[in-house]
Structure 1
Amino acid sequence: MQGKVRQLGIEIGVLPVGQKNCITDVEGVQVGHVTLDEPLDQNGAYACTGVTAILPHGGNVFQQKVTAASYVLNGFGKTTGLVQVNELGVLESPIMLTNTFGVPAVTQGTLSYMLDRNEDIGLTTGTINLVVGECNDSYLNSIRACSVTPAHAIEAIRQASTKTAQEGAVGAGKGMMCFGYKGGIGSSSRIVKVESNEVNYTVGCLVLSNFGQDREFLAEYYKVSTMQNQSTLSPTDGSIIIVLATDAPLSSRQLTRVIKRCGIGLGRTGSHFSHGSGDIVIGFTTAHCIPHTADQLIETRTQLREDHPIMNQLFTAAAEATEEAILNSLSQAQTTTGRNGHTVQAYSFQQA
């Protein structure tokens, strides 16, 4: 396996990266994976898929919600929970990623996990809004077998930690492709500094990449060789789910403005948000913990000034971290064989 692209001499953007160059550089954020990689029968059926969980903090997310937003770049996707996220501006569950047909099972597993931790849900309080995103991994994965179960979702949540997240062909990224090569999970982070008062904010990004054709990848821009064997593969209804986390104190509306800039990072790699691609961004900030119940009529939150130069830095951070996370999903992935012997090669980041 190759290292992150930064270790290979490819530096993206101008802002400094976090210590782990990962979404978990945002304090408290956790990532967990469950990977399925096994034959299902003697006729070529294969489970090449998985589940990835992103937790905004280590506490009870239903009881201590965080400010959140989502943005659809291209809507060819099958997600749950984004309507309420945008209406209320809060996230109250882990963000779960899986394959397209795994969404019902992952939703059920996440629901079971959250019900076990919150006996009041559906009885003395309202229901819960679960957020699940997906990409189509049917070239490598026997997607009709529906191998992902609710138990896999629960395990992914339990495996979540603040360590550097595994990347490439792991978790939900096990069967995904990017620009015709092996894609999957990638992550990166940026530090935004306000020199005048020594305030630092962290922006972290995690992607599930499953989009694009070889000819679209802007290899020349990154000064890597284009002489390797060209891939003729492209994801079926290719997609990308982008998860952006920050500790900057932003309102949901401000967060929407920031996560829109993730599309810039996606476009820089060569994507044009194709017709059959579900390109969706989900963002949250850990700056506010919003209690599920409170007696006060008025609640007060701190947020950044709209016209302060820090907002432009946050926009830059979102674009840079997304771009580098996508490249890391390529560089960290391994050549993978799955359904009916289908094989997707890893991209070799050789200097031109």
Structure 2
Amino acid sequence: MSARPTGARPGPRELGVVVGDLPTGPANAITDVAGVRVGHTTLHEGERLHTGVTAVVPDALGAGPGRRRSLPCGLFVGNGFGKLVGATQLEQLGTIETPVVLTATLSAFRAADALVTHVLALPGYEEVRSLNPLVGETNDGYLSDIRARPITEDHVLAALDGATAGPVAQGCVGAGAGTSALGYKGGIGTSSRRVEVAGATRTVGALVQSNFSGTLTVQGVPMPAADLLGTPSISSAGPRAEEIDEVPKGSGVPEGNSCMIVVATDAPLDARRLERVARRAVFAMGRVGSDFSHGSGDYGLAFTTADPADRLLLPDDALNPLFAATMDAVEEALLASVLTAVTTVGHRGTEHGVPHDALLARLRAAGALPGR
């Protein structure tokens, strides 16, 4: 297991790209929602493996004083070409019982078993006989040998046990180590917003695993890979055309790909309202240029850490600020997932990082970024 490539490139704000006018939290990450931690396990082994695990861990889940066995959560499926483990119970009951784990498509099932191991080992879970693990995925099979299914229980447990608050590593880390998005190298991205809702300051945080096709769009300005890289995009995200019977080789039709979006908030919302928030999270993909193709698994999850003693749920007509905060946080997280990623030589080809100088030049030419 190697630490290369890294996700150390500048993100949107460091490049002068600011989404919306709402303030961020101190880390500009999903961890700005109090009690939410993130952990990564990253595998980079030569050109053969670029994959990993990302865990979003709400501290409110668990046994003991102040802990709960479930949190309200909403799910919105933009397109269901995916393997979201635990989706049906989440949809039916509107709650999550475990942290959210993200990984590669063919490793999702091993990750789910490891997540069960993690939760059953917690104090107070000795008599539990049923549990709904929640594991999302995208297909990193272009850059990584996905058929090897290299993710083990130890990798998942390391991401869960190593989850921390504060700044979150982005780009080619964790579940984003081998992903591709919008003609470039994709990855993990995160962002947050603070907003006044019904007289109280609330925080919304988003974390994304980007692996979808389309044309990267920044501040409304298209950034085609063919233009910025000076060559046609070497690959599309997700499984290759030969893995999808409906897409003939060489057809030019976008191949299967996906995006997982996890939204956390401290606002008092029930599952129905959280589903409306999750819906806006998927809508935000359109802002950065997603083509929402046939083979894409686009999922939005939104959960709340609000104290259940706060029984005064926000009314529907008070949700607009949360919707705006969600759209902005997800848009910035998606941009961060691509802009922080580095060029990666993989199992079946290469995905290039976005050339920042060319991107900034195009933004200035379009009047979308002040000149220097």
TM-score range (shorter-chain normalised) is 0.7 to 0.9
Find the aligned partners of 2:29 and 2:136 in 1 and give their Cα distance.
20
| TM-superposition CA deviations, 1:130-164 (whole Å, max 9, x none) | 00000000001001111111111111101101021
Q: Spell out the pairing of 1:14-93 with structure 2 (5 A cutoff).
A: 14-39=21-46, 46-57=48-59, 60=62, 63-93=68-98
Contact 2:61 2:98 in 1 (8 A): no
Q: Deviations over 1:47-99 (max 9, x none)?
A: 21000000112652784421111110000001111211121121110100000
Note if 1:147 corresponds to 2:150.
yes
Q: Does 1:169 find its partner at 2:176?
A: no
**2 CA distance for matches of 1:117 and 1:188?**
30
1:219-273 superposed Cα distances (whole Å, 9 cap, x missing partner): 5724879543242421132100000000000011011111111122101111131
Aligned partner of residue 207 in structure 2, secondary structure: strand
Unpaired segments ≥5 residues, structure 1: 290-298
Q: How many residues align?
A: 329
Residue identity opposite 1:89 in structure 2: G
- Please show how residues 293-312 of structure 1 align to structure 2 within 5 Å: 301-308=311-318, 311-312=319-320
Residue 343 (structure 1) shift? 1.9
* Mapped contact 1:107–1:150 kept (Cα < 8 A): no
Quick one: distance in 2 between partners of 1:143 and 1:282? Answer: 25
RMSD: 2.1
Aligned residue runs from structure 1 range 223-262, under 5 A: 226-230=227-231, 231-235=233-237, 236=239, 237-262=256-281
What does 1:1-352 align with in structure 2 at a 5 Å threshold?
A: 1-39=8-46, 46-57=48-59, 60=62, 63-118=68-123, 120=125, 124-194=127-197, 197=199, 199-213=200-214, 216-219=215-218, 221-222=220-221, 226-230=227-231, 231-235=233-237, 236=239, 237-288=256-307, 301-308=311-318, 311-340=319-348, 342-350=349-357, 351=360, 352=362
Given that 2:261 and 2:282 are in contact with CA atoms closer than 8 Å, whether structure 1 keeps it comes out as no
- Which whole-Å deviations, capped at 9, do the CAs of 1:155-196 have from their partners, x for residues lacking one? 1101101021110000010000011211110001111114x7
What fraction of aligned residue pairs are identical, expressed as a percent?
40
8 Å CA contact retained: 2:268, 2:310: no
Q: Indicate if the aligned counterparts of 1:140 and 1:337 stay in contact, CA closer than 8 A.
A: yes
5+ long unaligned stretches in structure 2: 1-7, 240-255, 363-372
CA displacement at 1:334 relative to structure 2 = 1.1
Distance 1:11 1:224, change over 3 A: farther
SS in 2 for 1:275: coil
Q: Is the 8 A contact 1:205 1:242 kept in 2?
A: yes
Alpha carbons of 1:125 and 1:35: their partners in 2 closer, same or farther (altered >3 Å)? closer
Q: Contact between 2:220 and 2:287, CA under 8 Å: does it hold in 1?
A: no
Name the counterpart of 2:249: none
User: SS in structure 2 opposite 1:141?
Assistant: coil
**TM-score, length of structure 1 as denominator length:** 0.88
Task: Measure how far apart 1:117 and its partner are.
Answer: 1.1
